[in-house]
Amino acid sequence: MSLEELGWNGQWREKFEAFAATGFVPARVVGEHRSHYRVATEAAEISAGTTGRLRNTVAQRSDLPGVGDFVAVALSGGDSPSTIEAVLPRTSALIRKASGTPDPQLLAANIDVVFIVTALGGDYNLPRMMRYLALVQQSGASPVIVVNKSDLENDVVGPAGQIEGIGSQIPVHVISARDRECTHVLEQYFTGNRTVALFGSSGVGKSTLTNQLLGRDAQATQEVRGYDGRGRHTTTHRQLFVRTRGGAIVDTPGLRGLELWNTANADANRFDDIERLALQCRFSNCHHKSEPDCAVRSAVERGEVDSAHFAEFINSANGREPNMTGR
């Protein structure tokens, strides 16, 4: 592979100029493991560690290299291993709050587009998908919602309509990841050697979709469980794959939990769906509790708004005036 196939361009060359005279070579992180990284240079894919200087100078762990980062590498010489000397400034960073700690965790870097993959059936969960959306919107990448397993469900129109109501500017594609013709609509997002990351919970079909978009079986897959309609977890670590048709894919393990790192921006947007519905309430000062003709409560009763998400909204509204202007 060439660096251009990995997304290297004039912008990245300018960022690397400061390291060009040092003898370092540019590379992209394509895999992250406990003890080392896999990086792709112009010549080969190699293993590399990080220097003590780099580890000691970063402000937080999420500043260390991650999958998708472009880095400056000192190639091995004699008995010395190859090392990552610096991380080039990122264009985007998908960061969540690390599980069980107050620290940020980098999920992927320099991503152009994120496919937020959900599945019809047992996994379908609108509030969780909105948390994924908030994370992507904070990152600097462009979100695209991919609704998978349309071949397994009779009711496709209902959930798709709910998802499209989240935001009119966000593309939504209903597909079957097993059908090559069905996934062809996603090819447009790889134009210009862009990098696409797949996010979603375990078993929504990310690995199957990755294989389909790569045109080869790079990731293991498993069948959907019959008793609850959920898929099974297969991907175990983040990895970047280069496509022969142009562009790159980052497949990620299913996120069992998602706590946002920059909650200030997320809090400002996470109830947009309810506030849009509130415009249809009879009263402009509707509190969505006992007022007649409340569009929000009606949507909850119809199952269009998750009851837990609605309860969150009511709790957050306590002590403040509703931020909406109904009819």
pLDDT for the residue numbered 263: 47
Show which of 89, 124, 147 is a domain's final residue: 89
The answer to whether position 327 is within a domain reads no
Point out which residues pair with 251 in neighbouring strands: 198, 239
Residue 289 identity (one-letter amino acid): K
Q: What is the pLDDT of residue 191?
A: 95
Q: Please check whether residues 49 and 127 belong to one and the same domain.
A: no
In this structure, the answer to whether residues 154 and 244 fall within a common structural domain is: yes
Structural domain containing residue 295: 271-317
Element holding 323 (H helix, E strand): none
CATH number, position 310: 1.10.40.50
236 and 181, same domain (yes or no)? yes
Cβ count near 117 (within 10 Å) = 28
CA torsion angle 38 59 199 1 (round to 10):
-30
Amino acid 20: pLDDT: 86
Last residue of a domain, one of 33, 66, 89: 89
Within this chain, do residues 16 and 109 fall inside the same structural domain, yes or no? no
Final residue of a structural domain among 31, 59, 89: 89
Residues 107 and 237 in one domain: yes
Nearest to 24 by CA among 83, 67, 64, 94: 83
CA angle 42, 46, 51 (to 5 degrees): 105
The answer on 284 and 247 residing in a single domain is: no
Would you say how long the chain is, in residues? 327
Q: Is residue 323 part of a domain?
A: no
Instruction: Show pLDDT as tens, one digit a residue, over the chain (327 residues).
Output: 789 999 999 999 999 999 988 899 999 999 998 889 999 999 999 999 999 999 999 989 899 999 999 999 999 877 788 999 999 999 999 998 776 677 888 999 999 999 999 887 766 777 788 888 888 988 999 999 998 876 655 556 666 666 766 666 789 898 999 888 889 999 999 999 999 999 988 888 898 999 999 988 766 555 544 434 444 444 457 899 999 999 999 988 756 555 565 544 444 456 767 887 888 888 888 989 889 999 999 988 887 777 777 887 887 765 344 433 334
Beta-bridge mates of residue 116: 145, 199
List phi, psi (to 5°) of 249.
-125, 135
Say if residue 98 is in the same domain as residue 179. yes
Query: Which token pair is 145?
Result: 């919602």
| Domain identity same for 75 and 159 | no
Note the pLDDT of residue 293.
92
HSE value, Cβ hemisphere, 13 Å, CA-based, for 308: 5
Q: Is residue 266 part of a domain?
A: no
Residue 305 C-alpha from the chain's centroid: 23
pLDDT at 38: 95
- d(CA 35, CA 28) in angstroms, rounded, equals 17
The residue type of 161 is: G
* Residues 130 and 202 reside in one and the same domain: yes
Tokens of 104: 């940020």
Closest CA to 5 of 277, 229, 248: 248
Residues 105 and 72 in one domain: no
How many domains does the structure of the chain reveal? 3
In a domain, residue 163? The reply is yes
Please report the pLDDT score of residue 150 as a whole number: 64
pLDDT at site 319: 39
pLDDT of residue 113: 97
Under 8 Å between Cβ of 66 and 111: no
Q: Are residues 246 and 275 in the same domain?
A: no
| Same domain (yes/no): 297, 246 | no
In this structure, is residue 47 part of a structural domain?
A: yes
- Give the tens place of pLDDT for each residue, 229-281: 444 444 457 899 999 999 999 988 756 555 565 544 444 456 767 887 888 88
